Structures are given as C-alpha cells and as structure tokens.
Amino acid sequence: MLLEHHISYGWCHSLGTWNETHNQKYDACWKYGSPNDLLSDKFWIYFLELLNFKKADLALVTELDKWLYALKHMSKLEEIPVCLQEPIFIKLFNIAEYANLTKEEQMSYDQELKYKWDNENARAYRDEQVLEKGIEKGIEKGERKTAISIARELKEMGLPVAQIVTATKLPIEEIVAL
C-alpha cells in the first residue's frame, strides 16, 4: 500500500493571531489516515487573504502585520512608508523596483552598479597600498632614528668610525657629522 493513497488534505485548527473572526488567515496541514494523524508537524500551509487585511500603516504592530501591509500595498506605494523603514523592507522595495524595470533599464542599472563597485574596489585597493607604504616608511624612519641614536652613543664611547659603520649600517659621512 503506497503512502500517497492515504494522504488526505484536511483543515487544521487555526493558529492565527490576527482578526480570525473575518477569516483572514487559514492554516492547513497534510493528514495521514485518520483526522488526528498529521503526516508531519513540520509542514504547514498558510493561506492569507490580503484583500481582507485592513490595517492602516499606523496600526501595524507585529512583523506579520508589516509584511502583509507591504505585500498588499506595494504596487500602489510611491515611497516606503515610515512604518516600514527597516533594512529588510528597504531591500524588498529595492528588489521590487529593480524587477519593475525593463530589460534595457536593468542592463543599464547593472552596468552602472558594476562601474560603481569597480571604482570602490580600485579606491579601496589604492588606499590599502598607500597605507602599506606609509607603514613601511614609518618603520624605516624608526629604524633610522634608532641607528643614529646608537651611532651617537658608540661615537661618545670612543669607538672607531669603521666599527660604528659596521654596527649601524649608516654612511661614514653621516657618522662623522654626528
């Protein structure tokens, strides 16, 4: 006996939290055999009637309210409402705007975006190179100051210039000038 023959579609009790009296949300599940045997407690289908969702933008409280409002009114909105000024909804509206472009407009937008990203990456690479050069120069300058300081001390101790040149790797002229 195959499992498919025993699967029946059944309505389950409503778990909805918003305005159930107006039948705006229905829950459905797959049943196996008797009405009490769920095929899976992990798989549920939710049917939402957006036409019956009547909350105004100022009355939105839960995330579900915001999503339903956004989905219902997206085609009519000229700008993102204040109540939906969250990163996820901004991303949703950006995707919707992109999907609404013609193929030519999408290609043009993609090229402009690629150009912008290329410029940003080139600028970031240049800044990284400048920073690395600056760090190298700073290290060299610090090493040079240390070598001059050591040369000065060795000269005060009376060591010959040739030994100071060997120890510090500084030019003879510079050690003599100390």
In this predicted structure, the answer to whether residue 107 has a pLDDT above a threshold of 70 is yes
pLDDT of residue 33: 60
Q: What is the mean pLDDT of the chain?
A: 79
Q: How confident is the model at residue 15 (pLDDT cuts 50, 70, 90)?
A: very low
What is the rounded CA–CA span in Å between residue 29 and residue 35? 11
Range from 76-85, 89-98, 150-159 carrying the lowest mean pLDDT: 150-159
